[in-house]
């Protein structure tokens, strides 16, 4: 099962958009449910979806919305299930009102093309839950922050004292701490071997502490390893625990963080192979090199799709025939999707790379 689309209205960076009426700008009555009000919308491919854009355009928020929806699809019902959705966004939030960015209706909706999950922040409830609950969509979220170094007693302490970590950070410790599966497909074993060769060992857990067991028998505390190797070690452990199997949705926030660029091809090859096995993947990245490797190494265009998120400008508003509430004065978020990086206008990571090359050329000419 793949996530096909998302809609967002008045949540964090995704503020409401208004559509022009016969060329005349008119702010409709949001409380009356005026049809001129537009939600941010994005369509996804079944393979690897790469989110790019400057800071503050909602890439991580979007990943967390998808993760929250997939986690809610588990058949278990309990009294606090809906309220805990807000904890995926921040450990310090106690009320969904803090996620809203404007007056009027506020929600986000995730769909697999047949079923949908609608979380209404305005009503503080989930709609269409009978349609979504029980789909049991497996998902794994890898946050930017490395968490396994904090594992000793972490889960017990968090349950008692509510540590300052959001739900995605707690869940990754839980997932990495699960027992290893007995058997894995041959291609998974090959992936594990490739990662083991780079980190020079395997990952073990003893008394809530993660260690890197080196091939020469040394047992190294996880916190003492380079963070880039820890990131690969986490991926090794998730695969070894059997969490990345067909039908899973993998969401990874900034895989390139603290990773030597020489390892980008390895990460790309592994993720392309996981996608081949039936795993839908979502990545948020600021790295042009990482994003470009996917384009160069994929088997076909449809396997990888790029989604550029960017803030409003007069040119964008004119192109889309949209405008914003003049009272708020805030910028909205727009998006464009393509199968090639070069087809995305306003692509900040490409622009930054071009500026660097221009500066280097200018310096060489001056010298």
Average pLDDT over residues 191-195: 97
Q: Which pTM value belongs to this model?
A: 0.88
Q: Would you say 320 and 345 are in contact if contact means Cβ atoms under 8 Å apart?
A: no
Helices (H), 28-183: 59-72, 129-132, 154-161, 167-177
Q: What are the tokens at 350?
A: 């490409």
Q: How many CA atoms lie within 13 A of 125 on its CB side?
A: 5
Query: In percent, how much of the chain has pLDDT > 70?
Result: 86
* 288-297 and 264-276 helices, crossing angle to 10°: 50
Q: Among 6-10, 227-231, 296-300, 351-355, which stretch is predicted with the lowest mean pLDDT?
A: 351-355
218-238 tens-digit pLDDT: 999 999 999 999 999 999 999
What is the rounded average pLDDT of the residues 323-338?
A: 62
Query: What's the pLDDT at 314?
Result: 47
Is pLDDT larger for residue 213 or for residue 78?
A: 213
* 167 touches 152 (CB < 8 A): no
pLDDT at 16: 63
Q: Residue 162: its pLDDT value, please?
A: 77
pLDDT at 220: 95
Residue 18 predicted with pLDDT over 60: no
Residues in the chain: 367
The model's pLDDT over 77-103, given as tens digits with 9 standing for 90+, comes to 565 667 678 888 887 777 777 788 777
Question: When comparing pLDDT for 321 and 95, which is higher?
Answer: 95
Phi, psi of 93 (to 5 degrees): -85, 135
- Other C-beta atoms closer than 10 Å to the C-beta of 228 total 18
Mean pLDDT of 284-293: 95
Name the helix (H) or strand (E) containing 158. helix 154-161
Contact residues for 349 (Cβ-Cβ < 8 A; gap 6+): 52, 285, 286, 287, 288, 291
Region 339-355: what's the mean pLDDT?
Answer: 81
Q: Is 309 or 100 the better-scoring residue by pLDDT?
A: 309
Q: In this predicted structure, which of 115-124, 149-158, 203-212, 252-261 has the lowest mean pLDDT?
A: 149-158
Q: Which residue has the tokens 């999950």?
A: 117
pLDDT of residue 214: 96
pLDDT at 329: 41
On average, the pLDDT of the chain sits at 85
d(C-alpha 160, C-alpha 300), whole Å: 49
124-138, 303-317, 326-340, 351-365: least confident range: 326-340
């Amino acid at each position: 099962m793949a996530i096909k689309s998302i809609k967002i209205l008045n949540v964090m960076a995704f503020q409401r958009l208004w559509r022009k009426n016969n060329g005349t700008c008119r702010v409709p009555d949001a409380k009356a449910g005026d049809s001129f009000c537009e939600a941010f919308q994005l369509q996804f491919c079944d393979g690897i979806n790469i989110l790019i854009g400057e800071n503050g355009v909602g890439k991580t928020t979007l990943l967390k919305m998808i993760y929250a929806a997939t986690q809610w699809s588990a058949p278990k019902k309990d009294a606090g299930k809906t309220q805990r959705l807000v904890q995926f966004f921040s450990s310090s939030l106690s009320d969904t009102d803090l996620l809203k960015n404007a007056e009027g209706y506020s929600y986000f909706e995730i769909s697999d093309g047949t079923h949908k999950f609608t979380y209404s922040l305005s009503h503080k409830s989930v709609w269409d839950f009978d349609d979504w609950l029980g789909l049991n969509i497996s998902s794994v979220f890898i946050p930017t922050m490395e968490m396994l170094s904090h594992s000793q007693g972490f889960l017990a302490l968090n349950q008692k004292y509510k540590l300052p970590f959001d739900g995605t950070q707690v869940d990754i410790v839980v997932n990495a701490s699960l027992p290893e599966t007995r058997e894995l497909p041959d291609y998974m074993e090959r992936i594990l071997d490739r990662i083991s060769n780079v980190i020079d060992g395997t990952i073990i857990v003893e008394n809530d502490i993660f260690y890197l067991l080196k091939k020469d028998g040394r047992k190294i505390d996880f916190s003492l390893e380079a963070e880039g190797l820890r990131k690969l070690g986490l991926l090794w452990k998730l695969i070894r625990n059997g969490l990345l199997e067909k039908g899973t949705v993998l969401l990874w926030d900034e895989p390139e963080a603290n990773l030597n660029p020489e390892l980008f091809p390895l990460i790309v090859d592994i993720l392309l192979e996981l996608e081949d096995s039936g795993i839908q993947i979502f990545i948020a990245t600021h790295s042009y090199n990482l994003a470009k490797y996917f384009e160069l190494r994929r088997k076909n265009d449809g396997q990888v799709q790029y989604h550029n998120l960017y803030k409003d400008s007069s040119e964008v508003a004119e192109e889309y025939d949209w405008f914003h509430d003049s009272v708020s004065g805030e910028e909205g978020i727009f998006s464009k999707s393509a199968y090639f990086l070069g087809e995305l206008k306003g692509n900040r990571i490409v622009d930054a790379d071009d500026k660097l090359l221009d500066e280097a050329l200018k310096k060489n000419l001056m010298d």
